[in-house]
């Protein structure tokens, strides 16, 4: 994970600096219960005995505490404006931006996007070309978005005019799963061309999912991919996870995703 290589520590220091640039005169609500991000960190430490020294654990704990504090603040922003926050996560190229582009003309709600990439504003530019309010966050060397980056992006989005805010995380099946960015739900995409082993090899990511989208299903005839087996793998990790098949050429599959989001909006 990125906590092992140190990129988060450097990124967190920079983001913490940005954090102080904003006016946070009100109190932040914060729970000291173990969050999903803490659980992911504990799994990392468990499987990496070389990290089990007091200094490493202390640094990781401080980073996650600060991040969770800011994530609670972001969630309060969403709640105060009655906006549903959804974190989109996947490996690069699985179809996050394409999904958003293709549902833009179909949805019966208004949405905006906080877009995360290491470099360029290409994905945000694609979304803006579709009339979607998108803000680009360039992470530099950081392989995920954290709550501080998302908070910065939210300052450039008017939450009053939207119903849903998507956070399109950096393409990575590891690090984003460890960081609560302040959204309410996690959608994880995995595409058919990636192969059958991704769910089993990256369990922390798929345990964090409220919805798994198996994308590019129109390519099933061309790949040795047992989609039912993959659904079973996912439900071994999280029995109650929702799973949908997505093919952007099939409007009904996109409508199923929209219906799921609308159901979650009504359930809030």
Q: What is the pLDDT of residues 172-227, one digit of tens each?
A: 999 999 899 999 999 999 999 999 999 999 999 999 999 999 999 999 999 999 99
pLDDT of 243: 98
pLDDT of 39: 63
Q: What is the pLDDT of residues 156-186, one digit of tens each?
A: 999 999 999 999 999 999 999 989 999 999 9
Q: What is the pLDDT of residues 72-104, one digit of tens each?
A: 999 999 999 999 999 999 999 999 999 999 999
Tokens 């590891």 belong to 174
What is d(CA 96, CA 189) in angstroms, rounded to the nearest whole number? 7
Least confident piece of the model among 11-15, 52-56, 86-90, 162-166: 11-15
What is d(CA 103, CA 135) in angstroms, rounded to the nearest whole number? 18
As to burial, measured by CB atoms within 10 angstroms (0-12 exposed, 13-18 middle, 19+ buried), residue 164 is buried
pLDDT of 52: 61
Write out the DSSP string of 106-173: T-SS-EEEEEEESS-SHHHHHHHHTT-EEEEEE-TT-SS--HHHHHHHHTTS-GGG-SEEEEE--S-S
**pLDDT(54) > 80:** no
**pLDDT(21) > 80:** no
**pLDDT(146) > 50:** yes
**pLDDT(29) > 70:** no
- Computed over every residue of the chain, the mean pLDDT equals 85
Tokens 């019966």 belong to 108
Backbone angles phi, psi at 58, to 5 degrees: -65, -45
Q: What does DSSP assign to residue 95?
A: S
Write out the DSSP string of 205-261: HHHT-SEEEEE-GGGGGGS---HHHHHHHHHHH-TT-EEEEE-TT-HHHHHHHHHHH
Return the percentage of the chain with pLDDT > 90, whole number: 72
pLDDT of 23: 44
Contact predicate 3/60, CB 8 Å: yes
What is d(CA 206, CA 180) in angstroms, rounded to the nearest whole number? 14
* pLDDT band, residue 247 (cuts 50/70/90): very high
What is d(CA 214, CA 207) in angstroms, rounded to the nearest whole number? 15
Could you tell me how many residues make up the chain?
A: 268
Does an H or E element contain 190, and which? strand 185-191
pTM for this prediction: 0.81
């Amino acid at each position: 994970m990125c906590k092992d290589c140190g990129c988060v520590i450097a990124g967190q220091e920079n983001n913490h600096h940005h954090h102080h640039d904003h006016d946070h005169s009100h109190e932040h609500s914060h729970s000291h219960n173990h969050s999903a991000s803490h659980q992911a960190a504990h799994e990392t430490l468990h499987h990496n005995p070389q990290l089990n020294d007091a200094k490493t654990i202390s640094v990781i704990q401080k980073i996650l505490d600060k991040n969770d504090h800011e994530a609670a603040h972001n969630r309060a922003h969403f709640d105060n404006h009655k906006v549903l926050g959804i974190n989109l996560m996947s490996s690069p190229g699985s179809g996050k931006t394409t999904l958003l582009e293709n549902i833009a003309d179909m949805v019966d709600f208004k949405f905006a996007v906080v877009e995360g990439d290491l470099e360029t504003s290409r994905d945000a530019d694609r979304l803006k070309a579709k009339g979607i309010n998108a803000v680009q966050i360039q992470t530099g060397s950081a392989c995920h978005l954290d709550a501080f980056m998302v908070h910065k992006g939210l300052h450039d989005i008017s939450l009053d005019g939207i119903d849903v805010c998507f956070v399109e995380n950096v393409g990575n099946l590891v690090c984003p799963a460890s960081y609560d960015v302040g959204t309410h739900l996690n959608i994880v995409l995995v595409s058919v061309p990636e192969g059958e082993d991704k769910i089993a090899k990256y369990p922390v990511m798929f345990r964090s999912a409220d919805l798994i989208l198996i994308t590019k299903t129109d390519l099933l005839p061309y790949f040795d991919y047992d989609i039912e087996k993959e659904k079973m793998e996912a439900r071994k990790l999280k029995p109650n996870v929702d799973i949908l098949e997505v093919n952007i050429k099939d409007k009904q599959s996109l409508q199923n995703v929209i219906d799921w989001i609308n159901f979650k909006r009504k359930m809030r």
